[in-house]
Amino acid sequence: MPGSYIILKNPRFVVRLDIFEELDHAIQDNENKGPKLIALSGLGGMGKSQIALEFCYRNQDYYQYIFWMEADTDAALQSSFKTAAEKLDPPIFAENPADIVRRMLEWFEKNSGWLLVFDNADDYTLNSTSNGRLQRDYFPRSGRGVILMTTRLNYGTGQKKSVVDLNEIQMDDSTALKLLLRENVDDGNALEIVKLLGYLPLALDLTGAFMEIEKCTPTEFLRKYENKSEAYLNPANYVQERMGKDGGKTVFTVWEVSFDRIKNKDPLAASLIQSIAFLYPDNIPLALFENHAQTIFVDKTISSIFKRAAKRAAQLMADYSVGRQTTPKDSNSNVQTTIGAAQMLADYSLVRRTTRKDSEQDDPGKDTLSIHRLVQAAILSKIKLPEKKEMSKRLLSALFHEMKPKNERSVEARPAQLLEGAHVSAPTDRRLSYKSTFVRRC
Ligand SMILES: Nc1ncnc2c1ncn2[C@@H]1O[C@H](COP(=O)(O)OP(=O)(O)OP(=O)(O)O)[C@@H](O)[C@H]1O
Ligand SMILES: [Mg+2]
């Protein structure tokens, strides 16, 4: 595979041919002398990142190199440039992140046939007046390639044709129904739900997963939704900015229907997703929770879940090891319990779980979770400030222990992914000067 993909294809992707055609036209018609610059814009949750990802997979024979850059913060951008630099042949190595970025930009400017995606280039965390800064600091100025950025902002790229605006291209009924219904049967009310959710892909996907797992009919879901929706007449301002008032309300409501159910079924899954809401949203290693369950989760119910699982595992081990010297591979009860909770969240589409079979057993990138930023916003809005403080303290402590040198293994020797993947958020905008860990607004 040319270039560097760090994100796997979404197996549930529902194709929107009209948008791929728009993107093809935008690229063909763009007359820039240097790289062609295309912005895929639209409110949060409309499917920009998903479309960009599918676009990469569909065009992998066309472009010689494809690079995916997480563009929401400087740290994420630098980490993406580093990953890309290491994948080149010959690879580019440099100590200083700024040197890597500079040398990568030189590489782009000298080469052709590349597609460079800047995902979530919303730029608000880069700094307030920074629309130009992302472009100035991270975009190659020459070279024959295509830059595709996904953004919630209405970026002018100079030429009208270079902006594909999802706000103007609503999903058609049959595509929206496909996303919502999955294998479920329409009892006549599915289109009503689609309209109620404003054709918003994020909300349709969450609802589809809920109805599938709960074996809930569209009519039953409508009832649950209507009971909840009163609570969210006014989503928080920053959510409104990113999704509009209706989109914000929709996602908050849909999220809460799922969360209520999960809390009943598995309190650990509920606590896990709350913790995940504090972290940098992509590539979160499940190992962090497996290794530090006791530090991160304090709730008595959860401790007893772990204790029960440990007892069961001990019993299994005793049975298993009769006459044997080796232990079963999955005998670690924390691992099994945490994986069970993570899988439940993935089944409800609240997180995406990626397991890589080709990774080493102790590679933290082997089993990772990603969560949508707007789902994080919904979760955080329901946690009270003192609890937020306590939870971020516990996560920081777990991260600190994970990063501390263990015996002969130094921080430097630990797989970089864990450090890069785990950025903790706290309840304020305050920045922490703590390795690559930084604070996000919640
Ligand atoms: N075409 C699609 N097929 C299947 N699911 C989709 C599709 N588009 C969007 N989704 C679902 O909606 C969610 C939100 O999509 P995505 O992350 O692409 O939105 P976005 O526009 O990039 O939002 P943001 O601006 O917040 O980053 C996805 O996680 C996925 O579950
Ligand atoms: Mg996105």
CATH of the domain at 102: 3.40.50.300
d(CA 319, CA 321): 6
Residues 154 and 177 in one domain: no
Residues 408 and 328 in one domain: yes
Atom 28 of ligand 1, nearest CA residue = 202
d(CA 196, CA 194): 6
Specify the pLDDT at position 411. Answer: 38
Domain boundary among 213, 232, 265: 265
Looking at the CA of 241, which ligand is closest? Answer: 1
Q: Please indicate, yes or no, if residue 302 is contained in any of the structural domains.
A: yes
Q: Please indicate, yes or no, if residue 34 is contained in any of the structural domains.
A: yes
d(CA 232, CA 381): 11
| pLDDT top residue among 48 and 316 | 48
The overall pTM is greater than 0.85: no
Specify the pLDDT at position 430. Answer: 26
Average pLDDT of the residues in 167-189: 92
Average pLDDT of the residues in 46-70: 92
Task: Describe the chain by its helix, strand, coil percentages, rounded to 5.
Answer: 55, 10, 35
In three-state secondary structure terms, 381 is: helix
Ligand 1 site, residue 120, Cβ cutoff 6 A: yes
Question: Per-residue confidence at 140, pLDDT binned at 50, 70, 90?
Answer: very high
- List the one residue out of 213, 222, 308, 299 whose CA is nearest residue 262: 213
- Total domains in the chain come to 3
Instruction: Measure Cα distances from 276 to 228, 252, 416 in Å.
Output: 24, 17, 19
Specify whether the CB–CB gap between 243 and 45 falls below 8 A.
Answer: yes
Q: Please indicate, yes or no, if residue 441 is contained in any of the structural domains.
A: no
Looking at the CA of 371, which ligand is closest? Answer: 1
Q: Please indicate, yes or no, if residue 97 is contained in any of the structural domains.
A: yes
Atom 8 of ligand 1, nearest CA residue = 47
Q: Please indicate, yes or no, if residue 272 is contained in any of the structural domains.
A: no
Is residue 418's pLDDT more than 70? no
Specify the pLDDT at position 249. Answer: 75
Atom 30 of ligand 1, nearest CA residue = 202
What residues make up the domain containing 216?
173-265
Residues 159 and 29 in one domain: yes
Helical (H) or strand (E) element with 38: strand 36-41
Residues 51 and 187 in one domain: no
pLDDT tens, 22-44?
A: 999 989 888 778 899 899 988 88
Least confident of 22-26, 290-294, 308-312: 308-312
Average pLDDT of the residues in 289-318: 76
- Percent residues over pLDDT 90 in the chain: 34
Domain boundary among 168, 187, 222: 168
Residues 197 and 160 in one domain: no
Specify the pLDDT at position 379. Answer: 87
Is residue 190's pLDDT more than 90? yes
β-pairing verdict for 367-371 and 284-285:
antiparallel
Residues 231 and 245 in one domain: yes
Residues 39 and 142 in one domain: yes
Is residue 70's pLDDT more than 80? yes
Residues 221 and 99 in one domain: no
Residues 292 and 182 in one domain: no
Is residue 145's pLDDT more than 90? yes
Q: Please indicate, yes or no, if residue 149 is contained in any of the structural domains.
A: yes
| pLDDT top residue among 439 and 421 | 421
Specify the pLDDT at position 139. Answer: 92
Could you identify the atom of ligand 1 that is nearest to the CA of residue 50?
18
Residues 24 and 153 in one domain: yes
Structure tokens belonging to residue 94? 């440099």
Residues 134 and 254 in one domain: no
Sign of the four-CA dihedral 201, 207, 211, 217: negative
Could you identify the atom of ligand 1 that is nearest to the CA of residue 43?
25
Q: Please indicate, yes or no, if residue 275 is contained in any of the structural domains.
A: no
Residue 209 CA to ligand 1 centre (angstroms):
14
Is residue 409's pLDDT more than 50? no
Structure tokens belonging to residue 131? 């629309």
Q: Please indicate, yes or no, if residue 438 is contained in any of the structural domains.
A: no
Atom 4 of ligand 1, nearest CA residue = 13
Residues 66 and 92 in one domain: yes
Residue 151 CA to ligand 2 centre (angstroms):
7
Question: Per-residue confidence at 432, pLDDT binned at 50, 70, 90?
Answer: very low
